[in-house]
Structure 1
Amino acid sequence: MVAISLAMMPNLKIDTDPENMLSSDAPARVFHNQTKANFQMRDMIVVGIVSQNSIFTPNALQVVEQLSTQVLQIEGVIAEDLLSLSVVDNITQEKNSQGESNGIRFEYLMKQAPSSLEGSLAIQHAVKRLPMLNNTLVSGDNKAIAIYVPIQAKDMSYIIAEEIRTISSNFPAELVANLDFHITGLPVAEDQFGYEMFVQMGVAAPLAGLAIFALLWYFFRNFPLIIAPMVVAMATVIIVMGSLIGMGFTVHIMSSMIAIFLMPIAVVDSVHILSEFAEKYKTGDNAGDVVKGVMKHLYTPMLYTSITSAIGFYSLMLTPIPPVKVFGAFIGTGILLAFALTIIYIPAYISRLTPETLAKLHDAIVRMEKKGRLANALESLGGFATQKTKLILIGFVALFLVSIEGVSRIEINDNPVNWFKADHEIRIADKVLNEHFAGTYDAWLVFSNNKGENSAALEKFKAVLATFTVNADSAKQINAFIKDASSAEQASLFNQNLLVLLDDLTFSAADQDQVILEQLVDIADDAFNDSKVFLDPALLNWQSDFQQALLATGLVGKSNGLADIVKTVNRELFSGEDKDFTLPETSNGVAQTLLQYQSSHRPQDLWHFVTKDYQKSLLWLQMSSGDNQHTTKVVNWTEAYITNNPMPKNISYQWAGKSYLNIVWQDAMVNGMIDSLLSSFVIVFLMMVVLFRSFKYGILAMLPLTLTISMIYGLIGWIGKDYDMPIAVLSALTLGLSIDFAIHFLQRTRELEKELGSLAPALAAMFQEPSRAISRNAIVIAVGFTPLLLSPLMPYITVGFFLASIMALSALVTLVLLPALMTLFAGKQNLKTEKS
């Protein structure tokens, strides 16, 4: 199994695109991708050049020009959509020799870098007059210039970013004095995370294995013996990861943690077996017979702990997030695989050890346990737990109430850029550029015309079409077009394609059909022009007012839309002064400005903000924060504004863009996690009732789990840590592992109570070998996760810290609360018996 799984490893594919947190047919994702296609929107890398003083110097602008030229040569960069001072247009008035306006002039803003300060300041002045560029390409404080690099595919962003870093590092020192280069943007953040995640996978899992190996050596002081659980752990990890890769699943941020999760979990049953075997084995005993007796004791609790742990992870398959489903399925299966390998391999391995090896093991265990700190500490803890029962109960109730208050303070929030440490170059670039510019995070607000087909025009069109002779070829082609349009559920028959068809037919149709075709062209052309709702000044005025109101909230740094293009061109068509920075009063006037704009060097830029049939329009919002909470505020404000200020036509709106998709999948994940936690909680409780054949013991088994979850999430709320993707996954691990300790504790206590005759001596015996095994397991798992604390990636650090805390806390709650409650209940039962 290991060999076959290793053969699958070369097929590894990394995926860190948060878009894949939603299924491919999720409505928000479908609309997002449709919007990218409709408006030719690209994934962008943002390159910032920042100066300590003014950026408008000949040297700085020369750097901008040279860097832009070299970036255009990089494979994977979409050259025609690059945004830089050297490739965008300046829009001015064309004047005759008398200084009178003679139309509009489009020329490159910076065809080549100026050689003088005067020329540099002229460019600065020109940018300030262009709302589409001001505070997008040049910062409001004039200390930074940005280059927006559109890329063909998101997974190329890391390679392209590295090439840009290489280019920027090769400029002469005198040219870039006082200049800093920064690269950010969600695509490069996500792709760079994937690269570093791949490195982390190769470092964290071996470190975890090394830490566990060292810890097992400390506990058992016997290399031949501790090799066995390490073999089980390594085999489990390799088989599960190989199966995942071999089945064609990509390794997402979630599944990248499978190895580090399974490594410590896979050895816990082995630790129980080794602990009890070391306790029971005496020199001269038959190892096979001893291990059979150990397995008879441990098989049932190990089976139930493995099943409950697996259920905790399998419950993640109830979430609507594909990578979370994969993570839950493979971790759950890995836990069951580890159980199967443990009960088959460990006894076989132990029974083949030599008597000399086993004698050394027994001597080491006896020496360590009789005088060890762990043994002494557990005996003291047992005495405290059984004597201070009421104090313990009051203390845990108080902690639970404080934790519930903390849980109520949790805020759901995530931002892929924050997956890096604060001193990472991505985080630094993000902070610096968002301080200077309107924002490197974007969201797209798409407006769509809801008005149906022009019924009067359609009836008139069909009536004229019916006047063709029966076998007219033109009529056949037009009817076929209508049929295809109907089957494709097009919003309108009267579109550019119909006009092109009618125009073509006028060249090929018979003479007697020309009059009919002319009538059809007139009807279609009038209906098509009437349907171009985003040429309507009233609608554009509403959009402009919306932009101003949104800007006034401070939630967005800037918005760019069709109205900005129209106003800018309209100003230059007239006086060139601010008084004419307005929208034309008629649709024809709007159409004229856009016709003028299409004579620029970048006519394709228009179609980023409106579709060619003028049925849809896009607003590009720039924000200085990519936090979900921030984007949610923008979405909520927009909904309230449109409710209070309805649009002048039958227009609907929808959101797209990466920042909005993050909200959608985060909400889906949180709701899915809550559902999975509740459902698995109920299933595990029922299993506990069946296992112990007691409702009371079922409740007791769930108490450490309940308290651990509430206390951990309460702590998250109190310290102000956002509820993000790695935090959400912790609930499954907490449920799966916290119950393990309770099962072992209660099962062994009941066995000892039957054997010794009463609860008190049973609890005293529990704080010998059984509690040491529980403590060792908690320590092994906690230490197994600590290598994650050395990671440069925040999700790994978060998981490492909280999982180590969960293990320590759940073991402590089990060893303190359960004996206290059992002692308290037994005392009350004895009191009732004495009274009766």
Structure 2
Amino acid sequence: MGLRAWLVALAMEKPKQVFFGVIALVVLAGLQIPSIKVDTDPENMLPHDQVDRVFHDEVKKRFSLYDSIIVGVVNTQNPQGVYNPQTLQDLHKLSSAVQSMKGVIRQDLMSLDTVDNISQSSNQPGAIRFEWMMKSAPTTQAQADQIKASVENLPLLQNTLVSGDGKAAGIYIPIESKSESYRLSKEIQTVIDQLNVESPAADNEFYMAGLPVAEDTFGVEMFIQMAISAPLAGLMIFILMWVFFRSMLLITAPMLVAMAAVIITMGLLIGQGYTVHIMSSMIPIFLMPIAVVDSVHILSEFSDRYKPGDKPNAALKAVVGHLFTPMFYTSITSAVGFASLAFTPIPPVQIFGLHVAFGILLAFVLTVTLVPAYIVSLSPARLAALKDHSLSEQVHEDNTSLLSRLLAMTGRFSIAKSKTLVMMFVAVTLVSIYGLTTIQINDNPVRWFKEDHRLRIADRVMNEHFSGTYDAFLVLERTGLDEQKTEFLAYLRKQVNARENAQAVTDKLDSILRTLKGEDYSTLLQKLTYQLDDAAYEDSAHEAHWMALLDTVEQAQSSSKYFLTPSALGYLNDLQLFLDDSALVGKSNSLVTLLKTVYRELQGGDPAHYKLPDNSNAAAQTILSFQSSHRPDDLWHMVTPDFNATALWLQLKSGDNQEMSRVIKLVDDYVSEHPLPANVEMNWAGLTYINVVWQEQMVTGMLSSLTSAFFMVLVMMFVLFRSIKLGLLAMLPLTVTILFIYGLIGFVGKDYDMPIAVLSALTLGLSVDFAIHFLERCRTTYQESGSWPSTVTEMYKGPARAISRNAVVVAIGFTPLLFAPLVPYITVGFFLAMIMAVSAVVTVVLLPAVINGIKDKDKLFAMSEDDRLKSIQEKNNV
């Protein structure tokens, strides 16, 4: 017994077992759903061992960098801007409250009350003084003015903590984990609401921005939206199917299939321990239309064939037998389209693709078992209630309905104007190809929210005032340290061997070096300094030898601090000045900014002395002076303790991938004209850069998977129809739809982002679905009638109705997504409707027009003897 016969027999002979089996799977899967874990961290779009992600994580660890929430207070009404007592008091209260919150890295929080004012000491010339910028909130305007003067004297803070126009001030809140962003944002908002109640006349406006809070907030709202949109879409599909079939009994079956497929698939995903990412959150949205498509085909044909009073088995066997092959192939092709996403280098996309593919195949099995089992289990009384779907009345109703009349007109028009239609579609395709070339690849998690969302508003306002709320880090690092270590040790031994009576010293030195064998160059020099000093004290007979070695090591230790040398600092300074002059970068901060600021105060505070120290020793002394500040560890956010790696912090006003890509190119162009110093390499880190990396990998991965899946589906069409011509015809709606949809995206200026990329897999499945059903029925109808005009007339009845119903049900059924507050859901809803509409139109309009131009239709629709006998048998079974 073949698969088809076994499934049909199971459904019709053991319907109760089918029901119990499905219920058991649904219950088992449903029990997994409460353990759902949501994850919208774009970093997880990359594998944990991906090179850029590994480097990004290393940079955060080496420079003690944390993801941050940025809170801004804006005052455009007060003539003094934020430099008024009331606003600064509110800022102080907010900062103090935030520092006590769990999950905040208190010591690294940046606000006017937590940073130092750096100035020249009035008591000791040549010394500097570090005092809190705002130890207590000012009570007079004079005190506020003094804070303003101090801020404007510190380049590190200008346009970072306070905007250049003085209208906005910020608090940078480093957090332990991005997953805490949403909770902390709610706690911060509670404090802000209280401040607004306490000082309503202050005219302060508070905003929160930053990628972490945007991503975590999206995760929460995505979860809510998933719980709302999927049921609403299901309800809309249910209503539309009732409009078409006018029988609650019939349309209950496909809804049960859709619900079961979604619950089992999501339960499987969650039960395996996978987190629900933005991609996997859309599984219900993608599965539901696919799950009901085959059911609508079965219902349409069953409604046409079933006669009241008869047992439904005969009609069901004929319908399922006739539709099994095309439904099976449409399910396989749809599954292949989504399963091809497993070849992308993006883990959440891989998980999404594989589970949707599983859900599609599951929906097929449920359709050919649960739907027939449901129908045959209906009582005679309930079956009698299907009188509106009797063969005579249903056919009459369908043939006189508005949809049927419209389809009949479409058929006549398609044949009469076949050449014109083909030329028109060719023209549309060519224009679409041009539109395809204009697509811009871009994404930004903040743009996942609608324009009027509080986070979008905050992003816009704060980036108008500050240098930028998006971070990127340009890391310069000295390489070849192992070679330097080897050369230095050889030189050290050579120096010992050159002295007389040094054998004991040589032996002792070798012993010391053996204990330090595994240390890196910087650590080795540091530990060697201590041990040589101890050796000089313990071995007074060779004290001169040891002191000479110690002097050599100290000189090497000083020269090993590369980013204190004038050449390295000079290159970094020139690069930073170049970036600051660029319109792409809001501002940059680095070790150079710190050195120039502290050195200026050491030299008396004259702006003319805002420059780098003249030599390494002066730079080291400047660093030593900064270490007496209240925040000495801020230095290690800019440079590593061995001074062989430094991070340039770039503030960008936009988190769009295109903007970050332009910055990357800007730096690459600069480096090509001003090569990096010898043995220095440069790399990028930061969330804004990581977003560019995963977006590029997604685009290339999607293109590769779509291409491979396209050719796999093409081969499957050849196998299904056993005809090259019919196989190519089946790919025609798919090809035209993909080109049209993506050409339209290019023309309307919609960015190619993650939801748009994944829709290609949906296009692949649904577009070829319609073509398979249309061509399969077209071939069997032609074999029965032997006349092309008769075939066209028949095709624009049942088959065209089923295709049209499917398109309308799905296209209109997902209009609730258009009202979602999250842009990806709106995108999916709109383009899913477009895909269904375009692919249906191309199938019922273009395919007949193209076929009409093929002269030898007997050869085109030729069937193998097995297929011909199978068709006759199915016809006789009715």
> Normalization by structure 1: what TM-score?
0.95
Equivalent residue letter for 2:152: K
Q: CA deviation at 1:473?
A: 8.6
Deviation of 1:460 after TM superposition, in Å, equals: 3.1
1:549 aligns with 2:578: yes
Q: Distance in 1 between matches of 2:493 and 2:378?
A: 92
| SS class of match (2:171) | strand
Query: In 2, distance between residues paired with 1:603 and 1:695?
Result: 74
Shift of 1:347: 1.4
Residue matched to 1:82: 109
Q: 2:40 aligns with which of 13, 16, 22?
A: 16
Q: Give the whole-Å Cα distance in 2 for the aligned partners of 1:191 and 1:496.
A: 43
Give 3-state SS (helix, strand or coil) of 1:804's partner.
Answer: helix
Secondary structure of 2:791 counterpart? helix
Pairing 1:524–2:581 present: no
Q: Distance in 2 between matches of 1:355 and 1:504?
A: 102
2:863 equivalent in structure 1: none
Q: Is the 8 A contact 1:442 1:657 kept in 2?
A: yes
* Distance in 1 of aligned mates of 2:471 and 2:553: 38
Higher mean C-alpha deviation, range 370-379 or range 417-426: 370-379
Pairs within 5 Å for 1:510-589: 518=547, 520-589=549-618
Of 733, 753, 771, 1:704 maps to: 733
Pairing 1:499-514 to 2, within 5 Å after superposition:
499=529
1:162 counterpart (186, 203, 206): 186
Please state whether the residue corresponding to 1:266 is helix, strand or coil: helix
Q: CA shift at 1:173, angstroms?
A: 4.3
Secondary structure in 2 matching 1:130: coil
The verdict on how the C-alpha distance between 1:555 and 1:759 changes in structure 2, with shifts beyond 3 A counting, is: same
User: Which residues of 2 match residues 86-235 of structure 1 at below 5 A?
Assistant: 86-96=113-123, 101-171=125-195, 172-174=197-199, 177-235=202-260
Q: Which amino acid aligns with 1:532?
A: K
AA paired with 1:213? F
Cα–Cα, structure 1 residues 302 and 566, in superposed 2: closer, same or farther, change >3 Å? Answer: same
Task: State the match for 2:18 in structure 1.
Answer: none
Structure 1 residues not aligned, in runs of 5+: 831-836
Change (3 A) 1:349 1:829: closer
The answer as to 2:488 corresponding to 1:457 is yes
Task: Tell me what 1:639 maps to.
Answer: 668
Question: Given residue 786 of structure 1, which amino acid in structure 2 is its aligned partner?
Answer: T
> Residue 322 in 1 paired to residue 322 in 2?
no
Residues 660-699 of structure 1 aligned to structure 2 (within 5 Å): 660-699=689-728
Q: Deviations over 1:576-617 (max 9, x none)?
A: 110111111111011111110011000000011100000001
Secondary structure of 2:319 counterpart: helix
How many equivalent pairs are there?
Answer: 821
Change (3 A) 1:495 1:167: farther
Per-residue CA deviation, residues 284-325 of structure 1 (Å, 9 max, x unaligned), is 222111100111110000000000000110111111111111
Q: 1:170 is paired with a residue of what secondary structure?
A: helix
Please point out which of 356, 374, 386 is paired with 2:381: 356
Q: Which secondary structure state, in structure 2, belongs to the residue aligned with residue 825 of structure 1? A: coil
Residue 813 (structure 1) aligns with: 842
- The offset of 1:620, in angstroms, is 0.3
Q: Which moved more, 1:447-456 or 1:624-633?
A: 447-456
Provide the residue aligned with 2:6 in structure 1: none
Of residues 82, 91, 97 in structure 2, which corresponds to 1:55? 82
AA in 1 matched with 2:355? F
- For 1:479, the equivalent position in structure 2 comes to 514
Could you tell me whether the CA contact under 8 Å between 2:600 and 2:609 is conserved in 1?
A: yes
Deviation at 1:113, TM superposition (A): 1.4
Quote the Cα distance in structure 2 between the aligned partners of 1:754 and 1:719. Answer: 45
1:495 is displaced (CA, Å) by: 4.4
Give the conservation status (yes or no) of the 8 Å contact 1:220–1:361. Answer: no
Do the aligned partners of 1:494 and 1:524 also contact (CA within 8 Å) in 2? no
Between 1:802-811 and 1:211-220, the stretch displaced more is 211-220
Would the aligned equivalents of 2:496 and 2:505 in 1 still touch at CA under 8 Å? no
Residue in structure 1 matched with residue 66 of structure 2 by the alignment: 42
Task: Name the CA distance, whole Å, in 2 between partners of 1:504 and 1:15.
Answer: 54
Question: How far apart in 2 are the matches of 1:183 and 1:78?
Answer: 17
- 1:244 paired to 2:269: yes
Q: Report the residue type matching 1:63 in the other structure.
A: D
Asked if residue 599 in structure 1 is aligned to residue 628 in structure 2, the reply is yes
Secondary structure class of the residue paired with 1:754: helix
* Conserved? CA contact 1:404–1:714, under 8 Å: yes
**1:739 matched residue in structure 2:** 768
- Measured after TM superposition, the shift of residue 465 of structure 1 is 8.4
Change (3 A) 1:468 1:667: farther
Instruction: After superposition, give the CA deviation of every residue in 1:15-72 in whole Å (9 maximum; x if it has no partner).
Output: 0000111110111000000000111111010000000141100101111111111110
Task: Please give the per-residue CA displacement for 1:145-164, whole angstroms capped at 9, x wherever unaligned.
Answer: 00000000010011111111
Separation in 2, partners of 1:728, 1:439? 28
CA RMSD between the two structures = 2.1
Q: Work out which of the residue numbers 352, 373, 380 in structure 1 matches 2:402.
A: 373
Distance 1:249 1:518, change over 3 A: farther
Contact 1:562 1:609 in 2 (8 A): yes
1 CA distance for matches of 2:264 and 2:351?
15
C-alpha deviation, 1:564, in angstroms: 0.6
Equivalent position of 1:66 in the other structure: 93
Confirm or deny that 1:270 pairs with 2:301: no
Higher deviation after alignment, 134-143 or 381-390: 381-390
CA-CA distance at 1:360 after TM superposition: 2.8
Deviations 1:386-441, CA, capped at 9 Å, x for gaps:
11101101110110111111111101011100000000000000000000001001
Give structure 2 stretches of 5+ with no counterpart. Answer: 1-24, 860-878
Structure 1 distance, partners of 2:675, 2:505, is 48
- SS of 2:83's partner is coil
Alpha-carbon distance change, 391 to 495 in structure 1, aligned in 2, over 3 angstroms: farther
Deviation at 1:283, TM superposition (A): 1.9
Q: TM-score, normalised by structure 2?
A: 0.91
Aligned counterparts of 1:615 and 1:211: Cα–Cα separation in 2: 62
Match of 1:298 in 2: 323
Is residue 159–residue 467 contact of structure 2 (8 Å, CA) maintained in 1?
yes
Instruction: Tell me the SS of whatever aligns to 2:516.
Output: helix
Cα separation, 2, equivalents of 1:684 and 1:628: 33
CA distance in 1 between partners of 2:459 and 2:688 (Å): 15
Relative to structure 2, which stretch is displaced further, 570-579 or 348-357?
A: 348-357
The one-letter code of the counterpart of 2:515 is A
SS in 2 for 1:348: helix
In structure 1, what is the Cα distance between the partners aligned to 2:617 and 2:721? 81
DSSP-derived class of the 1:95 partner: coil
CA distance in 1, matches of 2:811, 2:167: 48
Q: Following TM superposition, by how much is the alpha carbon of 1:84 offset from its aligned partner in structure 2, in angstroms?
A: 0.3
Distance 1:504 1:387 in 2: 102
1:425-468 per-position Cα deviation (integer Å, ceiling 9, x unaligned): 00000000000001001110000012433344211334578967
Shift of 1:789: 1.2
What amino acid maps onto 1:124 in structure 2? Answer: K
Matched residues in 1 for 2:530 and 2:245: separation?
83
Corresponding residue number in structure 1 for 2:819: 790
For residues 31 and 176 of structure 1, the distance between their equivalents in structure 2, rounded to whole angstroms, comes to: 48
Which range is displaced more, 664-673 or 644-653? 644-653
Distance 2:521 2:828 in 1: 49
Amino acid at match of 1:594: I
Return the alpha-carbon distance in structure 2 between the equivalents of residues 465 and 479 of structure 1: 16
Cα distance, 1:472 vs structure 2: 7.9
Q: Note if contact 1:495-1:613 (Cα within 8 Å) is conserved in structure 2.
A: no
